[in-house]
Structure 1
Amino acid sequence: MAISIRLAQKADAPLIARLHFHTWRETYRDLAPQAAFDGVTEEVRLARWQSMLADEGSERIILVAEIDGQLAGFGMAGPPSHEIFQGRAEIKFLYVGAAFKRQGVGRELLLRLARHMMKAGYDGVGLGVVAGNDPAIAFYEGMRGTREGNYTDPGPIWRSDNHLYVWDDLPAITAHEGNGSS
């Protein structure tokens, strides 16, 4: 089983939206309010991904991971959206489909996004993880992320409490890319 990671294309929007919708609902079923579930439909996700993938002038990068031709996960990174990132790049999305968890997909996406942000001139990356999302917290800590604080994501429907995880030595983290080390 080989993981293939590539830049997302406009045509990937429906598959990304579907994976995002289902994975988000599963991940946050016990954490998010009902209003978030009611307001974030697969159609809403599709419209957002179509818009983001059409924005070619953006400073962000969107990657997809595939295994045997199937979308296994996706990630997006770019300029920070909140002052808590303190000039670090932000990994805004990192999702892996349920059938592909614990196969290295999340790890490879995280490392590849970090490498792209290093090439874009950032010295560090950070991401917010919703408080209570224990599997993600364990993953980021296993990837040697450092918890640097907390903040509230002002999302359009759900103001979630988040922990900030950071990686400030991008050359060190990206040196592990593709070799099975963590």
Structure 2
Amino acid sequence: MHFRDASAADAPLVAAMHVESWRRAYAHILDPAWLGGPIEAERLALWTARLTSPRPDRRVILAERDGAPLGFVCVAGGDDPRWGTLVDNLHALPAARGTGIGSALLALAAQWALDGWPGAGVYLWCYAENHAARGFYAHRGGVEVEDVEKAGPDGRAYPEKRIHWADPAALLR
């Protein structure tokens, strides 16, 4: 497995991975009409903007094996004064699930957070209905600390859970 920072040239790849992951994982959550089409242009615009004008407090790490993409993580360092660094996106392609790629990407995000924002935690948002992801995070020590309803990318509101690691070093074990 090989990890590297994403560049502007990777925007279409990251967007395509994001779309594929969401279509599989969120088929029972997000609006099927949105997942069927508008998601592609929306995700491409998002990742093109993020990777073309990168911020120093954001990092996107790609995972690859033999040149083939496996997944990615996007991290926003020191995003929240109380909760710490935001794991904004963590996606393993369906074919890579169960291979440890998600854990490896989460560990890289945690290490980056520890290096840049020592003493702060790591957190993410997860759809309440995404039971598989919630189980994945719980197994890695994530604690569900807050329930909110947030606007989804398809324009609907969804219940989400904030999952927190007070000590990101727990994700390195």
Q: TM-score, normalised by structure 2?
A: 0.89
Q: CA separation in 2, counterparts of 1:119 and 1:31?
A: 35
Q: Structure 1: state its 5+ residue gaps.
A: 177-182
Match of 2:139 among 136, 139, 142: 142
Q: CA separation in 2, counterparts of 1:152 and 1:77?
A: 22
Task: Give 1 or 2: higher strand fraction.
Answer: 2
Match of 2:62 among 54, 64, 77: 64
Determine whether 1:166 maps to 2:170.
no
Secondary structure at the counterpart of residue 29 of structure 2: coil
Give the corresponding residue for 2:117: 121
Match of 1:86 among 59, 82, 87: 82
Aligned length: 171
Q: TM-score, normalised by structure 1?
A: 0.85
CA displacement, residues 74-121 of structure 1 (integer Å, 9 cap, x when unaligned): 11111476x7x8241111100010110000100000010111111121
Q: Per the alignment, do residues 148 and 8 of structure 1 end up closer, same or farther by CA in structure 2, a change over 3 Å counting? A: same
Q: CA separation in 1, counterparts of 2:116 and 2:149?
A: 26
Quote how far apart the aligned CAs of 1:35 are. 5.4
Q: Structure 2: state its 5+ residue gaps.
A: none
Quote how far apart the aligned CAs of 1:165 are. 1.0
Runs of 4+ in 1 over 4 A off after TM superposition: none
Q: CA RMSD in A?
A: 2.0
Secondary structure at the counterpart of residue 28 of structure 2: coil
Q: CA separation in 2, counterparts of 1:149 and 1:168?
A: 14
Percent identity over the alignment is 28
Amino acid at match of 1:44: E
